[in-house]
């Protein structure tokens, strides 16, 4: 790329989110251009092209997204404009600049298969989203694939990070802790299975991945699977709180957006490449809780 230095330069969108924040830490040895929505609106193609042209990054990591799953059902245009067209805009700019692109996606692209699934989804399983959020993120994946030559589409799941999600005002861990401190009982769904993941761990793998040419799809999650009920029980137990965590079915806890009953992910591509296993979600959760001062 003309005008670029030999030092790796990484441009991160959504840099004030929990994953974006940990990516800035994980890439501390690189030159990082950390951009928030105030700095660049990814739904504006010309704004994206302008900022990419200005900084000439070696890699762009697009963490910006509309992640309010329930609101996506009623704000369909906003969901597709951000998650699909926004991803397209970043892909077009990356292709023009010759930059590698990391597009962050989600486990919500899966879950549409009604039959029980015995094992987590790999990168080679066929997506089947059940809600608008998942549909919009899948559309973003497809646009990146068609418009950019050097891409890593990273699907992750159930993120929790020290910075908290800027789009959700926290994360599941903090929500459960808040409820458990105020109430004697906390009801949590027990029939939605996923792969909770610490953004610190996800960011560390992405930092390694972008130094390679292993383009394609990657699932990056902490190892193991659990229901949100099991996750909540672990959180409350680690914090040594007295609240009782009660399992309920999804039917007993209706939400605007349908959730996948099973959307656990398997880091299969990483394993095929010999990149090693990630630590368990329980170990990652303990690390997070210590970092936040909860234990």
Give the pLDDT confidence score for residue 67 in this predicted structure: 96
Instruction: Specify which residues 193 forms β-bridges with.
Output: 227, 262
d(CA 204, CA 210): 10
d(CA 250, CA 187): 11
Give the pLDDT confidence score for residue 169 in this predicted structure: 62
Mean pLDDT, each 10-residue run in order, the chain (295 residues): 62 97 97 97 98 98 97 98 98 98 98 77 96 98 98 98 75 97 97 97 98 98 98 98 97 93 97 96 98 95
Give the pLDDT confidence score for residue 166 in this predicted structure: 61
Give the pLDDT confidence score for residue 3 in this predicted structure: 40
Give the pLDDT confidence score for residue 4 in this predicted structure: 42
Which CATH homologous superfamily contains domain 9-171+195-222+264-271? Answer: NAD(P)-binding Rossmann-like Domain (3.40.50.720)
pTM of full prediction above 0.85: yes
Neighbours of 1 (CB within 10 A): 11
Give the pLDDT confidence score for residue 2 in this predicted structure: 38
d(CA 280, CA 84): 31
Instruction: Specify which residues 46 forms β-bridges with.
Output: none
d(CA 256, CA 72): 9
The residues that are catalytic are 133
| pLDDT, tens digit (0-9, with 9 covering 90-100), for 18-34 | 999 999 999 999 999 99
User: DSSP per residue over 89-133, as a string?
Assistant: HHHHHHHHHT-EEEEEEEGGG-----SPPSS-B-TTSPP---SHH
Give the pLDDT confidence score for residue 165 in this predicted structure: 66
User: DSSP per residue over 169-205, as a string?
Assistant: TB-HHHHHHHHHHH-SEEEEESS-EE--EEHHHHHHH
| pLDDT, tens digit (0-9, with 9 covering 90-100), for 228-255 | 999 999 999 999 999 999 999 999 988 9
């Amino acid at each position: 790329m003309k005008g670029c230095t030999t030092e790796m330069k990484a441009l991160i969108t959504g840099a004030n989110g929990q994953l974006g924040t940990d990516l800035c830490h994980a890439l501390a040895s690189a030159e990082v251009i950390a951009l928030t929505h105030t700095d660049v609106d990814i739904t504006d193609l010309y704004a994206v092209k302008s900022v990419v042209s200005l900084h000439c990054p070696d890699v762009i990591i697009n963490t910006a997204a509309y992640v309010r799953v329930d609101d996506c059902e009623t704000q369909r245009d906003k969901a597709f404009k951000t998650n699909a067209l926004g991803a397209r805009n970043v892909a077009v700019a990356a292709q023009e600049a010759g930059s590698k692109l990391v597009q962050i996606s989600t486990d919500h692209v899966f879950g549409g298969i009604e039959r029980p699934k015995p094992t987590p989804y790999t990168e080679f399983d066929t997506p089947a989203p059940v809600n608008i959020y998942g549909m919009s993120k899948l559309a973003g994946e497809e646009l990146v694939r068609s418009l950019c030559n050097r891409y890593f589409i990273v699907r992750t799941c159930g993120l929790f990070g020290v910075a908290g999600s800027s789009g959700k005002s926290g994360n599941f861990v903090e929500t459960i802790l808040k409820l458990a401190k105020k109430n004697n009982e906390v009801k949590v769904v027990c029939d939605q299975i996923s792969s909770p993941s610490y953004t610190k761990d996800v960011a560390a793998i992405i930092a390694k991945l972008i130094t390679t040419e292993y383009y394609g799809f990657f699932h990056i999650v902490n190892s193991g699977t659990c229901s949100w009920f099991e996750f909540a029980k672990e959180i409350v137990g680690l914090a040594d709180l007295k609240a009782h965590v009660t399992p309920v079915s999804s039917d007993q806890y209706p939400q605007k957006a349908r959730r996948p009953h099973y959307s656990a992910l398997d880091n299969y591509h990483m394993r095929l490449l010999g990149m090693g296993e990630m630590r368990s979600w329980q170990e990652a959760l303990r690390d997070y809780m210590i970092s936040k001062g909860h234990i």
